[in-house]
Amino acid sequence: MDDEFGDASFLDDFDVEQVIHKSYPKPAKHDETSPGNKREPTNVNSFESKDYSSENTPQNTNKRLKVESSSSFDTAPSKLTTNQNLAFSSTSSGLQATLQQYFGYSEFRPGQEQVIEAIVCQKQDVAIFWATGAGKSLCYQIPPLHLQQVAIVVSPLISLMQDQVAQLNARSEQSLAVFLGSAQTDASLEKKALQGHFPLIYVTPEKMSSSFPSQLVSSGLASRICLIAVDEAHCVSEWGHDFRPDYRILGETLRTRHPALRSIPILSLTATATSRVMTDIVTSLQLRTPLITQRSVDRSNLRISIQSKTKDVAGTFREWCQKWNKATETVPSTIIYVATRNQVDQIAALLQQNLSASVRVAAYHAGLSAQQRQTAHMQFLTGQVPIIVATVAFGMGIDKPDIREIIHYGPPKTVEEYAQQIGRAGRDGLSAQCTLIYSPADFDKYLGDFYLGQLTDTAKQVTRKSIQAFKAMCQDHRSCRRKVLVEYFQQTPEFGDWCGTCDVCLSRDQYEGDQERDFGVPARILLTAVQALKRQGLGNIMAVANGQAVEKYRYAIQFPGMPATVQNQINELKGDESKYTVKYLKELLPGLVQSGYIAESTESKQLSGFARRWTVYDITPRGRQVLQDRDLPVLLPVPQSVRDQEKQEDERRQKVLKELCNRGLKKETLPESEVNAGDGTVIRAYSKWYSFIESARRHSEQRATDLEELLKLIEDWRSETAIKLRIAPASVLAEHLMVSLAYSVASLPQHVTLNRDMVLAAGVRTVTVDDLVASCLRWREKSKLAQPSEGADANTKSMVLRTIQCKTWEFAVYKPQKKTGKATWENYFDRFYAGENPLAIAMAPGDGKKPIQVQTVVTHILDGCSFGREVDLERLAEFMPPPNEKQWEELRAAELATGMDVCGDPETSGRNGDKFTMTEFLKPIVGEKSENMDRVVFGHWCNYLKWYMTLRRAGYEPTFVDSI
């Protein structure tokens, strides 16, 4: 199944083939009223907050869970074989000798030897609840090797079984293990297994629910089985996160249906189980006075970080690509988990294009053939490929100890799944990084029928609860990540309240005293939007918070003018503050939910045969109180993305101020508000003027001198007027208006005559304005700006056009299309260089697309520069003229004035660290975009900006010559 909710890739590693062709009897409920299953209820609390075999509390390791046997249980010991009698007399050194012989280890890990002795010497059932990487698998591998008998291992994870079989068989000249299941292609192996050729037989739960247990008995192999291990035992329980019917009937299969199997010890193993699930496992598998060994789920070597999706896919992985490309050593073994097959293909292609040729990337999902999946698996396992992009099932069973990084682009469903998946990292005990990148909306798809439709009502209830708990954990910026994770499994973290390694703890140490701030203004913007709407989702709330209107039926109160009223309220709250972007506001929403100002709930709708669910938001009484009383503070944790935005803005501000100071401007002459913001009317005026003079000086020192004389002329007029009128010079004309006026006069086209109205438009308001006009006219005449016949002005020089090939832009992201395997720009580029006219390409873009503008075609061809392609600028200029020198310098001045960086990361190089936009960049040149704006002029400047961005990003500095 695959639709807009995702796909079924989470089944990748399960024995799907047998599941499809089987139907299961409904598992019996093990309660007091079930016929034939009466037993005393187990005390659930016996598991809570206890570590029965903690390394630090060995006195608790012999704890037993008493489960009263029913009449169907055969508790009498079976006849012992010679090997078993020998095993009873074996010592710890004997087990250690087996460990050394087969695995090369001199000592067992904590808890392993006790479990193995319970199985080997006492034939006792055991239930293990240890974290991933704690060494559970050795507990069922050693007994059959030590006793020279057979162990049956039941697991739903084919990849895990295949990895363990390969590793075991690599340790000995004789085959020690075999996997039996629908993925097994050699039918003869099952016959050999039943004849006792393999000490370890790995099977799927579907295999155990078939005729295989009967074959164990009829072949006589049952008498040689020393252990049946049930791995991933949480699948037994309806209260677990991954309930499977075949697991639920394992207890009945092993302890009721086949008497010859009753006396064989059962070992259940899982890394993720709450107290209720632990009890259900023991009861369902009918374990008899088992040894219960539980250890903390905490993994101290895992560094957990949870981030919001503030960039698109390409922007998100750009930083990782840069890091991996700069790595002086081998790229660390990394798994990137994503939700769907399409995302696997997209991200794998994106990474491969943007990483150096020596770094290989593999893809893994259910849409690939079995051979492709197997190849990807083995290449990653053996280190041939350091990075694999996969759906969430991959890695659940991979036995690779040196995985250094786990990246989740989008969350898994539940806390348990997350704990298991990050548990794949750092199994060698060394430090590993686990990064989750999420959006609150990512969790919505998991609440619908596509993911939960096949579960029982009980399992649905449990899974939804875990989904909500996981979402709350991601949105919590106050609590230690590892502490929340450990406490979810009803355990107490040994490290206390703070682990010191997760992103929350590191932020707490770094920003001590700045953990929370009063976000009153942006919080009230969001609360106003939520209050105005009627149980709407994130998209509509952000649209309204951004000052936009949505359909009237979505508003909580419907009457004419309602959208406009809300817009006015939000615009009043924002004022002139430009940093309250959608990205900024979106980061604060989880904090408002967590702090009780906004409430979350879900809505559902039938779509494509499934019940789709999504999150909606309501304002709470506490939120209404904040809107009524504007003086109430709204203390919220500071999101890391807000800190990153502030850091980027501060770096931009420092860069602007430094450049102005280097050009002779004293910071003391700037308004304090503009110094703090790094932007404003005064800063923009000086930035434009200094850039203008710098451009002139590069071509003519005399031209620069003339410009300086013009400014001096205006300054002298101001001083004379101040004395004449007996007022302060600043009252005649502010200093930044002087430089703005000088720029306007100097950049006036040659054929236009300066007049009084133009000077008044520049901001001059004194009775001596005519004197100023006369002085400026004399300057223009002296500098020959008003005489077109005397030669072309330096600012009308044309760009020298030629064929260029430059370096690849650092932030260029290659995005191949699924159909063609090429990027969109590349299709147009290839057609252009095959000789097609851009006009012809625009009229017939291909793939059934409608005609597009010629400028769009030219823009795509220019994109080739960013990827290091050879581009004929002269030929392109015939269809979209490039900027002349004056326009080029205008664009350079705009870049300085806005603080935007055309060569930087488009996701963060805009104003206030926001996305780069052409409209914002062009504001110093064309002003605010409005209905009255000259669209033609704006369009021309957009085209000039495309040239400017392309050449600047390619590292090409054009030259200009006098126009012919």
Cα distances (Å, whole numbers) of residue 170 to 100, 229, 533, 706, 877: 15, 22, 64, 84, 65
Buried b (16+ CB within 10 A) or exposed e, 579-608: bbbebbbbbbbbbbbbbebbbbeeeeeeee
162 token code pair: 């295949």
List, for residues 876-895, the tens digit of each pLDDT value.
Answer: 888 888 999 889 988 988 88
Could you give the CA distance from residue 497 to residue 512 in angstroms, rounded to a whole number?
16
Distance, first Cα to last Cα, the chain: 66
Q: How confident is the model at residue 818 (pLDDT cuts 50, 70, 90)?
A: low
| Amino acid identity at 199 | P
Please say if the pLDDT value at position 501 is more than 60. yes
Q: Which CATH number fits domain 50-294: 3.10.20.30, 3.40.1160.10, 3.40.50.170, 3.40.50.300?
A: 3.40.50.300
Inter-residue contact 246 to 418 (CB < 8 Å): no
The better pLDDT of the pair 790, 422 is held by 422
What string of DSSP letters covers 230-271? E-SGGGG-TTSTT--HHHHTHHHIIIII-GGGTTS-EEEEES
Calculate mean pLDDT across residues 627-632: 92
- The strand pairing partners of 934, in sequence order, are none
CA dist 897 and 891 (Å) reads 10
Task: Calculate what percentage of the chain has a pLDDT beyond 90.
Answer: 29
* Tokens (6 digits) for 748: 């006036």
Q: Cα separation of 593 and 595, whole Å?
A: 5
Alpha helices per DSSP H over 402-452: 415-422, 449-452
Q: In the 8-state DSSP scheme, what is residue 46? A: G
The band of 51, judged by pLDDT with boundaries at 50, 70 and 90, is very low
Which stretch of 20-24, 516-520, 741-745 has the lowest confidence by average pLDDT?
A: 20-24
Q: 438: which DSSP letter?
A: E
How far is it, in rounded angstroms, from Cα 796 to Cα 749? 9
What Å distances lie between residue 456 and 26, 237, 239, 449, 780, CA to CA?
A: 10, 11, 10, 12, 86
Q: Where are the domains positioned within the chain?
A: 50-294, 299-438, 516-637, 696-796, 799-961
pLDDT digits over 182-209, tens only?
767 787 899 999 999 999 999 988 899 8
DSSP 3-state of 296 = coil
Tell me how far apart the alpha carbons of residues 339 and 345 are, in angstroms, rounded to a whole number. 11
Confidence of residue 561 (pLDDT cuts 50, 70, 90): low
Is it the case that residue 739 has pLDDT exceeding 90? Answer: no
Which of 714, 707, 795 is closest to 750 using CA atoms?
795
Q: Please state the three-class secondary structure of 279-295 as a single string.
A: HHHHHHCCCCCCEEEEC
Cβ pair 247, 210 in contact under 8 A: no
Fold: same for 299-438 and 696-796: no
pLDDT band, residue 474 (cuts 50/70/90): very high
* Res 723 pLDDT > 80: yes
CB atoms within 10 A of CB 933: 12
Backbone torsions φ then ψ of 656, nearest 5 degrees: -65, -45
CA distances for 286 relative to 125, 137, 217, 387, 768, angstroms: 9, 21, 20, 42, 102
The values of phi and psi at residue 178, to 5°, are -145, 145
**pLDDT attached to residue 949:** 93
User: Could you give the CA distance from residue 690 to residue 671 in angstroms, rounded to a whole number?
Assistant: 18
Class of domain 696-796: mainly alpha
Q: What is the pLDDT of residues 509-528, one digit of tens each?
A: 888 878 889 999 999 999 99
Residues 727-748: what's their mean pLDDT? 83
Quick one: how far is CA 153 from the chain centroid? Answer: 36
Report yes or no: 441 and 5 within 8 Å, Cβ to Cβ: no
> Which residue bears the tokens 């832009």?
809
The superfamily CATH assigns to domain 299-438 is P-loop containing nucleotide triphosphate hydrolases (3.40.50.300)
Average pLDDT of span 451-475: 85
> Is it the case that residue 36 has pLDDT exceeding 90?
no
Secondary element (H or E) of residue 518: strand 516-518
Helix (H, G, I), strand (E, B) or coil at 177: strand
List for the chain the helix, strand, coil content (%; round to 5): 50, 10, 40
Place of tokens 């996701």: 907
E strands of 256-391, at which residues? 266-270, 291-294, 302-308, 334-338, 361-364, 387-391
pLDDT in tens, 645-663: 788 778 888 888 888 888 8
Which CATH architecture fits 516-637?
Orthogonal Bundle (1.10)
pLDDT for residue 950: 92
User: What pLDDT is stored for residue 558 in this prediction?
Assistant: 64
CA 189, CA 118: separation in Å to the nearest integer?
Answer: 31
Mean predicted confidence (pLDDT) in 15-23: 38
* pLDDT class of 560 with cuts at 50, 70, 90: low
DSSP assignment of 806-818, as one string? -PBPTT------T
Q: 123-169, pLDDT tens digit by residue? A: 999 999 998 778 889 999 999 999 999 999 999 888 778 888 988 99
Residue 529 has pLDDT above 90, yes or no: yes
Strand 432-438 to 635-637 pairing: unpaired
Residue 621: CB atoms within 10 Å:
9
Contact predicate 874/849, CB 8 Å: no
Average pLDDT, integer, range 539-560? 83
State the alpha helices, DSSP H only, in 136-268: 138-147, 158-170, 188-194, 205-208, 212-218, 245-248, 250-252
- In this prediction, residues 431-450 reach a mean pLDDT of 88
* C-alpha radius of gyration, the chain, whole number: 36
Contact (Cβ atoms closer than 8 angstroms) between residue 902 and residue 908? no
Residue 57, pLDDT score: 30
Q: What is the mean pLDDT of residues 564-581?
A: 82
pLDDT of 402 over the 80 cut: yes
**Tokens representing residue 695 in the block:** 């451009």
pTM: 0.66
* Residues 119 and 268 sit within 8 Å (Cβ to Cβ): no
